């Protein structure tokens, strides 16, 4: 928003931010309604709205008003969700995934870029910055015109967006990712742990919408948790909430049933844990009894681990996400049965509709939240 100097301009910016925030959270409003809501005079509102119209933040709502009143209807205005764009991005060992959205949360573009696990931190950051630039160009704006960028990454991420620990990406621990990207992009940047963004996505537009307390299990070639407590992703004392750590026998303990099944059927085929699970899913859907048993045992093993979290936290819902979420009821039903048996108050178990995209969707929501703070609450 346009800025002037002096105390009067500060008050003007605060009033502008207040009016923009009101329009942001309502469908349409007249000048009189804005004046009442913001508790300022109508001439002040009129001048501010005129400025916001020129700057592109607000538009006049011109659809026919069916109020039944005679005479000329009062002008009505609404927030332009297309005024700015945000970018949400997930960082993986082998892929960067970005989504561009307007300020109403409508996804307008998606991009994926292949990367390598062995990349240096600098090379990975370069690719992230390059992808943000491509997203901005595709949206028809300069990088500096983005309202916010949010990035979800594996590892323990502290409150300043620094990767404290990471077992997935080489030399990623210690990288001040938020500071590095902020310097390169010159826009508001937020960096967060990927599992906190995943559970945020489910709470925003996923199967956990409307729930306040949720356990999110990410499944794939790694297992991790996201916790939503009181409607907010939980960080923990050391920002390490959801980090399961390395099991005593690695992923074999969890994936042993499906891995053994896949190896017995095709001994010469080497598969990752997730690929072995997907192979067993496909055979189970075809009616193969051994595959169905392997999948059920795999799901029960996951449920045993979940029970240790569910009983003390008492969530409303458990969401099965990640690349194995398309397993659907093959995973959900055995997990639900087990939790029904061992939990004091069994939560509902559902598979994520987002699958592996939950992280980038959550990054979009985090970027929108960050933009809300910088644009509407500070009068900037």
CATH for 159: 3.30.420.40
Cβ(321)–Cβ(217) under 8 Å? yes
Res 246: pLDDT: 55
Of residues 253 and 171, more confidence is placed in 171
pLDDT category of residue 225 using cuts at 50, 70 and 90: very high
Q: Is residue 310 part of a domain?
A: yes
What does the pLDDT average to over 89-102?
A: 96
182 and 227 in a single domain? The answer is: no
104 and 189 in a single domain? The answer is: yes
Edge-first strand listing for the sheet containing 76-79 = 29-30, 76-79, 58-61
Residue 378 pLDDT > 50, yes or no? Answer: no
306 and 325 in a single domain? The answer is: yes
CA-closest candidate to residue 208, choices 8, 311, 103, 358: 358
Alpha helices in 161-288 (DSSP H): 177-185, 194-205, 252-265, 273-285
> Cα–Cα distance between 309 and 198 in angstroms, integer?
17
Q: Is residue 172 part of a domain?
A: yes
When divided into structural domains, the chain yields a total of: 3
Q: What is the mean pLDDT of the chain?
A: 91
Give helix then strand counts, H and E, for the chain: 11, 15
Highest mean pLDDT among 27-36, 42-51, 217-226, 293-302: 293-302
What does the pLDDT average to over 180-204?
A: 96
Res 380: pLDDT: 42
Res 250: pLDDT: 55
173 and 98 in a single domain? The answer is: yes
pLDDT category of residue 251 using cuts at 50, 70 and 90: low
215 and 345 in a single domain? The answer is: yes
pLDDT category of residue 195 using cuts at 50, 70 and 90: very high
Q: Is residue 269 part of a domain?
A: yes
241 and 314 in a single domain? The answer is: yes
75 and 141 in a single domain? The answer is: no
155 and 43 in a single domain? The answer is: no
> Cα–Cα distance between 188 and 151 in angstroms, integer?
11
220 and 327 in a single domain? The answer is: yes
235 and 181 in a single domain? The answer is: no
Give residue 254's domain range.
Answer: 209-352
Q: Is residue 143 part of a domain?
A: yes
What does the pLDDT average to over 91-104?
A: 96
Of the residues 25, 44, 79, the one at which a domain ends? 79
75 and 25 in a single domain? The answer is: yes
106 and 172 in a single domain? The answer is: yes
> Cα–Cα distance between 22 and 10 in angstroms, integer?
18
What does the pLDDT average to over 220-224?
A: 89
CATH number for position 63:
1.10.10.10
Res 64: pLDDT: 60
Residue 253 pLDDT > 90, yes or no? Answer: no
pLDDT category of residue 62 using cuts at 50, 70 and 90: confident
pTM: 0.89
Q: Is residue 246 part of a domain?
A: yes
Q: Is residue 2 part of a domain?
A: no
Q: Is residue 4 part of a domain?
A: no
pLDDT category of residue 68 using cuts at 50, 70 and 90: low
């Amino acid at each position: 928003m346009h800025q002037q100097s002096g105390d009067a301009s500060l008050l003007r910016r605060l009033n502008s931010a207040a009016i923009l925030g009101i329009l942001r959270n309502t469908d349409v409003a007249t000048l009189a309604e804005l004046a009442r809501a913001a508790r300022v005079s109508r001439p002040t509102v009129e001048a501010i709205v005129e400025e916001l119209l020129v700057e592109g933040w607000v538009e006049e709502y011109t659809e026919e008003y069916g109020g039944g009143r005679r005479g000329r209807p009062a002008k009505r205005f609404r927030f332009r969700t297309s005024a700015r764009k945000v970018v949400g991005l997930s960082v993986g060992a082998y892929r960067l995934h970005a989504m561009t959205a307007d300020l109403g949360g409508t996804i307008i573009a998606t991009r994926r870029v292949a990367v390598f696990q062995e990349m240096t931190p600098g090379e990975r950051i370069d690719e992230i910055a390059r992808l943000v630039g491509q997203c901005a160009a595709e949206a028809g704006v300069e990088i500096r015109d983005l309202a916010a960028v949010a990035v979800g990454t594996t590892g323990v991420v502290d409150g300043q967006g620094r990767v404290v620990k990471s077992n997935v990406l080489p030399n990623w621990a210690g990288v001040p990712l938020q500071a590095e990207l902020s310097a390169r992009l010159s826009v508001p940047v937020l960096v967060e742990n990927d599992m906190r963004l995943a559970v945020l996505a489910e709470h925003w537009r996923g199967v956990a919408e409307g729930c306040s307390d949720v356990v999110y299990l990410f499944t794939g070639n790694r297992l991790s948790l996201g916790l939503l407590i009181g409607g907010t992703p939980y960080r923990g004392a050391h920002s390490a909430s959801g980090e399961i750590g390395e099991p005593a026998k690695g992923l074999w303990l969890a994936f042993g049933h499906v891995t053994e099944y896949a190896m017995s059927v095709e001994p010469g085929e080497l598969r990752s844990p997730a690929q072995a699970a997907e192979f067993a899913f496909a055979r189970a859907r075809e009616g193969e009894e051994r595959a169905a048993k392997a999948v059920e045992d795999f799901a029960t093993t996951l449920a045993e681990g979940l029970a240790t979290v569910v009983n003390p936290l008492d969530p409303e819902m458990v969401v099965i996400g990640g690349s194995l979420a398309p397993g659907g009821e093959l995973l959900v039903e055995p997990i639900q049965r087990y939790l029904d048996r061992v939990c004091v108050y069994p939560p509902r178990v559902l598979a994520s509709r987002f699958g592996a995209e939950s992280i980038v969707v959550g990054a979009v929501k985090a970027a929108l939240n960050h933009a809300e703070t910088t644009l509407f609450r500070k009068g900037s």
